[in-house]
Structures are given as structure tokens and as C-alpha cells.
């Protein structure tokens, strides 16, 4: 009787499969160096260095700069002095983390174990500068020299035009490629030391996806989203320390670029296949829509022209609001995706309680309710409706709480306000008010469904 071939076993860790499928081939030397940096307690500094370097690369790309939507047409006549000051601060941050990485690498064990292999491979490199870098630590030293030179060059500039800003960006990118192992480090999307997701409930839920390619691609989407949350932790650290914050625009540019990449990945690897299943496909479509929309909102509204803002309080508020908007978006997308596979999973299993977010959601719900009640009182009053007073009251809500709504709700809210502003008759105003009150009731219900309210429910 012929022996049947054994069926391939379902992987016990979809995240590991996804990581392995995304890590580029080669780079043994870099991998061993990263493992030693991790063992010596320097992995967070290495992650931060990689993030800030990637962020600078994104910041030099006009597509990812936080500018007004209407302001992109006049870029030729715009000064980029404020942006280049942010670049200078970010360069200093990179220098600090590069020094921390070198301190963690002190001891030189890796130089001795890898020196022969590296030097044998270095001669094959086409770049003389890269060939001189026989170890990753030498690449970091070369990077430090470049960052210092680049910062000195920036200090000598008297004005910065669009052309000069873009030229500096090209120079930055070219020099990064010469830093052989640094270029290799930032060219890899994920790394086990940074991105391994250790959550048994999440891993168990992923095993419920029967098709192996869909399971691996779903895990890959989670890796992106958890990586985004790690980027936000770097911004949160500066918020907590009350540090200067404008340089964090560099990380927001990186997030803007990578959310667009994730939205495209969702379309190509999940949405186009029938094996994905209806529930997971709907969740993936929601995720692609949400991350792209919220990131665009942050770049073109919350952070637009913050680089030129002189008031530290406004800068803090804009950076903090943007941080909260994106954190809520990424966490909500993770929860939506996993609940499409396992509805029993709740927010508290994945993320710690969010007391501040609960208070913000409570305030938004209360403000919506008070606006609804005010409009209901206006409808029930025997006095003629005053469209100016109504628009003024709506304006109070917009100033205080509109930004706390999901961005996708902004357009419909604004359309009701616009309709009321142009109403010319008593009957028309009453009709639009009734529709607006109904819309507010729907918004209150949607806000009440937010996960922070579910976390606040007492456990039975």
C-alpha cells in the first residue's frame, strides 16, 4: 500500500511565518550584529535610529509633508526654512541614538567573529565607501560622520527653497545607501527583535483562518499595525517628557507613507481573493479606508503648517491630537480585523485600559447630546427659528468637539451645517433641523459603541 505524503502542518505562529516571508535574504552579518545589540540591551536605540532615519527619508518627500491641501500649489515660492530646522533636530536625534547603539556594541566581540567573512564579501561591493565598512558598527560610525557633516551644512544655509530642500533630500538618500549596513537595516520591513507579537489570544484567533496564504497575509497586516503603534510610542515618549515636539513631524511623515503602503497591501493580498471570506474582507476594506483617511486627516488638517507654528501650546495640542487619532484608528483596525475571525476577543485582551480616551469619548457623547437637546428645544419653541443662532451653536460644537469625531463623519456633519446656513425659509430650516437631529442621534449611538465604553463595563 503506497504511503501518502504527509499534509503540511498548520504553522503554530502565523506572525513568525509573516516575518520570515518579509525579511530579505542574506544579511547574516547584520542579523548576528542585531542579535548581539539585542542581547546587550540596545535594541530600543537601534529601533529608534531606524525609525528616525526612515522618517527623515519620508519627510524629504513632498507627498508626505504635512501641508495644507490648498497650499501645495505655491510650493515654488515657499520657504522651507522651518522644515529644514525640523530636519536638523531630527538629525540630532539620530546622532543620539547612533551613539547609544555604538555604546551597546562596545566590547567588539562581533568584530572578531565576523571580520574574516565580512572583509571577504566587502570587496564585492561596488561602492568604495561601503567596502571600507567591514562591520555594521563601522557603518554606524560612517553614518555619524555624515549626520554631523549634514547638520553643519544645514547650519550654513541662509534660505531654503523647494529646489534646495529636494536636493538635500536626494543627498541624504544617497549617503544612506553608502552606509552599507545601515542601508540594509532600513531596507528591511520587519525584524523579529522589534516586531514579534506575543499574544496567545491573537495567535489562536489567526489559526481559525483556513487558507494559509490568507492567514499569513492577515498576520502581516497586524505586523504593520503593531509597528505603527511602536512608532507612536516614540512620539508619546516626547509628549510625556515635555520635550520639543516639532521633530516628531518626521515620524508622522513616515506613518503617512507606510499607511498608504498598508492600504495597497490590503487591496492586493486580501480584498481581491474569494478565500478571504466576507467578514474578513469587510474588515480589511474598513481598515484600508480608515488608515488612509485618518492619516490624510492628520497630515492635511491637524499637522498642516505646524512646522511654522510659534506657540508651543498649539504645537503640543496638534501633536497630541494627531497621536490620539492615529492610535485610536490603528487599535480599532486591529480589533475590527481580529473580531472578524473571533468575535469573543475584546479590546482589553490586546491593549491596556485607556482612561484618558474614555473621558474624551464621554465628553464627545455629552457634547453631541447637548447639541441635539438644544436643537430639539429650538424646534419646540414658539419663537421663530433663527438660522444665525443655530449656526453659531453648531460652531461652538465644531470648535470644541468636531475633531473627536471620526474623520469620515466630518463631511456629512458639515453638509448639514451648510444646508442650514443657506436655508431661506422657515419650513426649509425646520426640515433640515429634523434631519440634523436624526443624524446627531446616529452619531451618539456610534460613539457609544466605541471600545473604551466596553472596557469600562463592570466585569460579572
pLDDT digits (tens, 9 = 90+) for 17-69: 665 655 544 478 888 999 999 999 999 999 999 999 999 999 999 999 998 75
Closest CA to 176 of 90, 56, 68: 56
Whether the Cβ atoms of residue 140 and residue 101 lie closer than 8 Å to each other: yes
Whole-angstrom Cα distance, residue 256 to residue 125?
Answer: 33
With respect to residue 434, please indicate whether it lies within any of the assigned structural domains.
Answer: yes
pLDDT in tens, 371-397: 888 888 888 877 777 778 888 888 888
**What is the rounded CA–CA span in Å between residue 40 and residue 56?**
27
Query: pLDDT above 70 covers what percent of the chain?
Result: 82
Instruction: Find out whether 160 and 81 touch, Cβ atoms under 8 Å.
Output: yes
- Among the candidates 193, 219, 235, a domain finishes at 193
Whether residue 124 is found in the same domain as residue 211:
no
Q: Is residue 340 part of a domain?
A: yes
Same domain for 312 and 263: yes
Question: Is residue 150 domain-shared with residue 268, that is, in the same domain?
Answer: no
Q: Is residue 346 part of a domain?
A: yes
Dihedral sign for Cα 94, 100, 105, 111, please. Answer: positive
Contact 455, 353 (CB under 8 A): yes
Span 255-263, mean pLDDT?
96
Is the Cβ–Cβ distance between 313 and 271 less than 8 Å?
Answer: no
Place of cell 500500500: 1
Q: Are residues 23 and 82 in the same domain?
A: yes
pLDDT at 77: 84
Residue span of the structural domain in which 374 resides: 355-455
Last residue of a domain, one of 331, 350, 369: 350
Q: How far apart are CA 132 and CA 215, in angstroms?
A: 43
Establish if 213 belongs to a structural domain.
yes
Domain identity same for 189 and 201: no
- Check whether residue 291 and residue 373 sit in a common domain: no
Percent of residues, the chain, with pLDDT higher than 90: 34
380 and 317 fall within a common domain: no
User: Same domain for 258 and 141?
Assistant: no
The DSSP line for 158-197 is S---HHHHHHHHHHHHHHHHHSHHHHHHHH-S--HHHH--
User: What is the Cα–Cα distance from 186 to 169, expressed in whole angstroms?
Assistant: 16
Mean pLDDT of the residues in the chain: 81
For position 142, what pLDDT does the model report?
Answer: 93
* Residue 385 counted as domain residue: yes
Distance CA 415, CA 410 (A): 9
Is 394 contained in some domain? yes
Confidence band, pLDDT 50/70/90 cuts, at residue 417? confident
Is 88 contained in some domain?
Answer: yes
- Write down the pTM of the prediction: 0.72
The number of distinct structural domains making up the chain is 3
Q: Are 246 and 130 contained in the same domain?
A: no
CB contact burial 143-164 (16+ within 10 A = b; e otherwise): bbebbeebbeeeeeeeebeeee
Amino acid at each position: 500500500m503506497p504511503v501518502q505524503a504527509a499534509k503540511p502542518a498548520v504553522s503554530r505562529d502565523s506572525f513568525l511565518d509573516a516575518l520570515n516571508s518579509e525579511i530579505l535574504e542574506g544579511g547574516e552579518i547584520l542579523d548576528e550584529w542585531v542579535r548581539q545589540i539585542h542581547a546587550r540591551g540596545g535594541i530600543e536605540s537601534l529601533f529608534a535610529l531606524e525609525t528616525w532615519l526612515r522618517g527623515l527619508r519620508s519627510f524629504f518627500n513632498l507627498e508626505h509633508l504635512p501641508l495644507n491641501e490648498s497650499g501645495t500649489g505655491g510650493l515654488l515660492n515657499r520657504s522651507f526654512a522651518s522644515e529644514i530646522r525640523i530636519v536638523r533636530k531630527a538629525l540630532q536625534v539620530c546622532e543620539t541614538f547612533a551613539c547609544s547603539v555604538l555604546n551597546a556594541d562596545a566590547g567588539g566581540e562581533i568584530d572578531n567573529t565576523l571580520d574574516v567573512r565580512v572583509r571577504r564579501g566587502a570587496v564585492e561591493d561596488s561602492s568604495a565607501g561601503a567596502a571600507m565598512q567591514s562591520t555594521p558598527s563601522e557603518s554606524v560610525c560612517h553614518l555619524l560622520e555624515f549626520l554631523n557633516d549634514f547638520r553643519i551644512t544645514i547650519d550654513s544655509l541662509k534660505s531654503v527653497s523647494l529646489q534646495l530642500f529636494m536636493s538635500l533630500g536626494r543627498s541624504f538618500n544617497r549617503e544612506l545607501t553608502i552606509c552599507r549596513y545601515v542601508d540594509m537595516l532600513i531596507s528591511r520591513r520587519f525584524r523579529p527583535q522589534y516586531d514579534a507579537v506575543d499574544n496567545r489570544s491573537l495567535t489562536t484567533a489567526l489559526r481559525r483562518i483556513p487558507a494559509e496564504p490568507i492567514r499569513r497575509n492577515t498576520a502581516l497586516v497586524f505586523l504593520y499595525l503593531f509597528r505603527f503603534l511602536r512608532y507612536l510610542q516614540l512620539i508619546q515618549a516626547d509628549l510625556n517628557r515635555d520635550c520639543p515636539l516639532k521633530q516628531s513631524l518626521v515620524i508622522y511623515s513616515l506613518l503617512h507613507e507606510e499607511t498608504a503602503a498598508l492600504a495597497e497591501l490590503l487591496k492586493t493580498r486580501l480584498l481581491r481573493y474569494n478565500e478571504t471570506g466576507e467578514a474578513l474582507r469587510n474588515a480589511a476594506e474598513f481598515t484600508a479606508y480608515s488608515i488612509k483617511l485618518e492619516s490624510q486627516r492628520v497630515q492635511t488638517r491637524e499637522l498642516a503648517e505646524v512646522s511654522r507654528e510659534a506657540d508651543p501650546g498649539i504645537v503640543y495640542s496638534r501633536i497630541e491630537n494627531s497621536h490620539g487619532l492615529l492610535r485610536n484608528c490603528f487599535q480599532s483596525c486591529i480589533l475590527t480585523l481580529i473580531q472578524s475571525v473571533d468575535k469573543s476577543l475584546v479590546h482589553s485582551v490586546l491593549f491596556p485600559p485607556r482612561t484618558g480616551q474614555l473621558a474624551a469619548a464621554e465628553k464627545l457623547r455629552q457634547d453631541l447630546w447637548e447639541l441635539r437637546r438644544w436643537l430639539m428645544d429650538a424646534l419646540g419653541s414658539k419663537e421663530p427659528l433663527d438660522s444665525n443662532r443655530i449656526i453659531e451653536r453648531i460652531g461652538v460644537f465644531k470648535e470644541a468637539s468636531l475633531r473627536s469625531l471620526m474623520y469620515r463623519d466630518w463631511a456629512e456633519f458639515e453638509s448639514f451645517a451648510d444646508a442650514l446656513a443657506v436655508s431661506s425659509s422657515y419650513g426649509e430650516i425646520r426640515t433640515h433641523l429634523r434631519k440634523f437631529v436624526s443624524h446627531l442621534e446616529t452619531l451618539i449611538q456610534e460613539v457609544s459603541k466605541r471600545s473604551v465604553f466596553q472596557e469600562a463595563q463592570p466585569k460579572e
